A and B are shown apart, each in its own frame.
Chain A
Amino acid sequence: MFRLIRLFNTSIGSKLMTATTGLVLVLFIAGHLVGNLLIFQQPSVINNYAAWLQENPLLWVIRGSMLFVFLFHAFLGLRLARQNRQARESQYHCKTPIEGNISSRFMLISGGVLFAFVVFHVLHLTVGVVDGVNANLVNEKNQVDVYSRVILGFQNPWISGAYLVALGLLGVHLFHAIQSLFQTFGFHHESYLAFIRVFSIGLSMILTLGLASIPLSVLFGFLTVSTGSGG
């Protein structure tokens, strides 16, 4: 137990914990993306998938753990940021930026916006209180009609706009995060540095573009409620 307490109380320990929780969140996003892409199939596919998730006895265990991981990640990020601010209270009068790297301040801001976005996202598509009209849609099998709910939701350009902005921020957040994760866990060798860079760009692009493809397809009319009416 002391091991965890000491780890939690050191700078590198907090970073290791931030990286570990971040990794869990990245894996969750990846799984979420795969599930979401089912929307490009017949409506019944994603509706069956959603119904299966809802009936799954592990649903609340997973939701609870994800909530814990998410809050812990945010808490660690805030604590690191506070310590960092306290480490330099008097600022330079002349500051020349050195490298084109993403500053930790960006991670804090994008993290904050993403936190607000996740709350909005859960209210919108899980709880269904943002656009009350679609919340109670059911299909002929009396399953929640996730398919129509998502598409009708995204037909509102404000809502899909908010999703796209948040996804853009997520992309940059992930790009720095995935690279940093390797460094924090101690992976650093010239023989694979280029790979890490390509991997973090690639993975953050795949995740964000994959997710963004849904609101974009709805906005540009590739996905409509009627496309799937036959299924």
Chain B
Amino acid sequence: MNFTLHIWRQKDVHDQGKMVTYSLADIDVNMSFLEMLDTLNEGLITQGEEPIAFDHDCREGICGACSLVINGIPHGPNQATTTCQLYMRHFNDGQEIYIEPWRANAFPVIRDLVVDRSALDRVSQASGYISVNTGSAPDANTIPIDKKHADLAFQAASCLGCGACVAVCENASAMLYVAAKVAQFALIPQGQPERTHRVISMVEAMDKEGFGNCSNNYDCAVVCPQEIPIQFIAQLNREFFHAALTSSEFAQPPHPLEHEE
């Protein structure tokens, strides 16, 4: 198969960056999208050019490292698929393919197609965890959990943190990510003690990172490789509304979210 690729090239954070066109011939139909880029990079290296930088790790759809906006859609045209699980047989011979990095001010481009997604980590560090005393592991199944809630929490916890929701959202909003992180703990008993504090500090941290606001367009759930549903965003709104109305924490002036080192 032959392709014409338009790929975003950018030296570093400060570089302006531009789209560069490459033609690529003799691609095997069974190659994955990332293998296709590997092939392109091998060619570039042989010609003495800089290879194209892109994120990847597991290449089996579980880690959330891969990204890429392919023809305007994060993770490409297939639903419930990460870029590493996308194959060239999903494209037509001779097709033009646009490959761009996630674009959001909260995700600065480090190089070519690689963006800095640590804004999401900082939001999770704000309170996206439960506090437990370490020691020997407790016996399994000592805390009863309603099956329905356990399943929902599991679904929320399947979020890879890849950032496709931010990349597709016309407001670059991270609501689906934050919603999944808040819901996974709000739904289970272990998450209850810090439930109110968690939603307040994660939402304030999200705003501080410069993500946009949710406009209820729901593109995020469509491109999410894990198909995290928007009902979690409604739950996040609900949790936040409740915390804002009833918690004593919210009646205090906001304190800096940084961890004490």
Is the pair A87, B250 in contact by a Cβ cutoff of 8 Å?
Answer: no
Is the pair A88, B172 in contact by a Cβ cutoff of 8 Å?
Answer: yes
Nearest CB in chain A to that of B10: its residue: A90
Give the total of A residues in contact with B, Cβ under 8 Å.
46
- In the complex, whether B256 has a CB less than 8 A from a CB of chain A is no
- Across the interface, A94 reaches (CB within 8 A) one of B72, B104, B212, namely B72
Is the pair B211, A87 in contact by a Cβ cutoff of 8 Å?
Answer: yes
Binary CB contact string for chain A from 90 to 133 against chain B (1 if under 8 A, 0 otherwise): 11111110110111110100000000000000000000000000
Q: Which of B48-56, B143-151, B235-243 contacts A (4 or more CB under 8 A)?
A: B235-243
Quick one: which of B213-261 are within 8 Å of A by CB?
A: 213-219, 222-223, 230-231, 233-241, 244-245, 250-254
Is the pair B250, A6 in contact by a Cβ cutoff of 8 Å?
Answer: yes
Task: Provide the bound-state CA to CA distance between A102 and B223, in Å.
Answer: 17
- In the complex, whether A83 has a CB less than 8 A from a CB of chain B is yes
A residues contacting B by CB (< 8 A) are: 2-3, 6-7, 9-16, 80, 83-84, 86-96, 98-99, 101-105, 107, 176, 179-180, 182-190
- In the complex, whether B92 has a CB less than 8 A from a CB of chain A is no
List 6 A-B residue pairs with CB atoms under 8 Å apart, sorted by A's residue number: A12-B241, A94-B72, A98-B222, A104-B215, A179-B216, A184-B237
Task: Name the B residues within 8 Å of A2 (CB-CB).
Answer: 250-254
- In the complex, whether B106 has a CB less than 8 A from a CB of chain A is yes
Is the pair B216, A180 in contact by a Cβ cutoff of 8 Å?
Answer: yes
**Smallest CB separation, B113 vs chain A (Å):** 13
Is the pair A89, B105 in contact by a Cβ cutoff of 8 Å?
Answer: yes
Knowing that A16-B237, A88-B171 are A-B contacts, what are 5 other residue pairs whose CB atoms are under 8 Å apart, sorted by A's residue number? Answer: A83-B212, A99-B217, A104-B171, A180-B216, A185-B237
- Across the interface, B223 reaches (CB within 8 A) one of A13, A98, A182, A189, namely A98
Task: Provide the bound-state CA to CA distance between A90 and B103, in Å.
Answer: 7
Q: Across the A-B interface, give the 3 residue pairs with the lowest CB-CB distance, nearest first.
A: A186-B238, A188-B234, A87-B212
**Smallest CB separation, B18 vs chain A (Å):** 10
B residues contacting A by CB (< 8 A) are: 6, 8, 19, 69, 71-73, 98, 100, 103-106, 168, 170-173, 203-204, 206-207, 210-219, 222-223, 230-231, 233-241, 244-245, 250-254
Is the pair B170, A105 in contact by a Cβ cutoff of 8 Å?
Answer: yes
**Smallest CB separation, B202 vs chain A (Å):** 11
Nearest CB in chain B to that of A193: its residue: B231
Known: A15-B213, A96-B73. A189 touches B231 (CB 8 A): yes
Task: Provide the bound-state CA to CA distance between A183 and B214, in Å.
Answer: 10
Task: Name the A residues within 8 Å of B98 (CB-CB).
Answer: 93-94
Task: Name the A residues within 8 Å of B173 (CB-CB).
Answer: 11, 84, 87
Nearest CB in chain A to that of B199: its residue: A12
- Across the interface, A183 reaches (CB within 8 A) one of B172, B204, B216, B244, namely B216
Known: A3-B251, A98-B168, A99-B222. A87 touches B230 (CB 8 A): no
**Smallest CB separation, B190 vs chain A (Å):** 22
Is the pair B212, A186 in contact by a Cβ cutoff of 8 Å?
Answer: no
Task: Provide the bound-state CA to CA distance between A59 and B146, in Å.
Answer: 54
